[in-house]
């Protein structure tokens, strides 16, 4: 099933794909902000769910743990995020693992960091 989520992440050019209770939802927008809004507005969406995300940093990983996510895929994941998810016994797969400095550069290119 995770393969289907990953395929949707790439073919539909979205930032987040969530499988919850057999239903797949896709989301656009800034990744961590979208995740934050969803967890606050629809917390039940994440309990026991599977997620595919473009980039996961430590903050997003902590939200996923707090939300009760069961499994995660990331195109890019920071070393810190991977540790947070693994420490919570969440199954994690990824395409590329990077250190914090490299993750911040990727995040900046994605428009997550303001360049003031």
Q: Which element (helix H / strand E) includes 104?
A: helix 100-109
Q: Confirm whether 115 is domain-assigned.
A: no
Q: Both tokens of residue 42? A: 């629809």
Q: Would 65 be classed as within a structural domain?
A: yes
- From the list 85, 91, 89, the residue with the least C-alpha distance to 63 is 85
- Give the model's pLDDT for residue 110: 67
Q: What is the pLDDT of residues 76-97, one digit of tens each?
A: 999 999 999 999 999 999 999 9
Structural domain range at position 78 = 2-109
pLDDT(30) > 90: no
Q: How many domains does the chain have?
A: 1
Here the tokens at position 49 are 């769910």
Q: What is the model's pLDDT at position 33? A: 84
- Does some domain include residue 116? no
Q: Residue 93 phi/psi, 5° resolution?
A: -130, 155
CATH number at residue 60: 3.40.140.30
Identify each DSSP E strand in 39-90 by its residue range: 50-56, 71-78
Tokens of 86: 């693994």
pLDDT for residue 29:
78
Identify whether 68 is part of a domain: yes
Is the pLDDT higher at 61 or at 13?
A: 61
What is the rounded CA–CA span in Å between residue 28 and residue 12?
10
pLDDT at 41: 95
């Amino acid at each position: 099933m995770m393969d289907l989520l990953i395929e949707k992440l790439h073919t539909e050019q979205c930032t987040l794909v969530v499988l919850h209770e057999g239903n797949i939802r896709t989301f656009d927008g800034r990744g961590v902000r979208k995740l934050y809004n969803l967890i606050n507005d629809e917390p039940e969406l994440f309990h026991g769910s599977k997620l595919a995300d473009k980039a996961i940093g430590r903050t997003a990983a902590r939200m996923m743990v707090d939300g009760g996510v069961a499994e995660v895929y990331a195109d890019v994941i920071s070393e810190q995020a991977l540790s947070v998810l693994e420490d919570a016994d969440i199954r994690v797969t990824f395409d590329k693992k990077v250190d914090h400095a490299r993750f911040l550069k990727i995040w900046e290119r994605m428009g997550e960091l303001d360049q003031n």
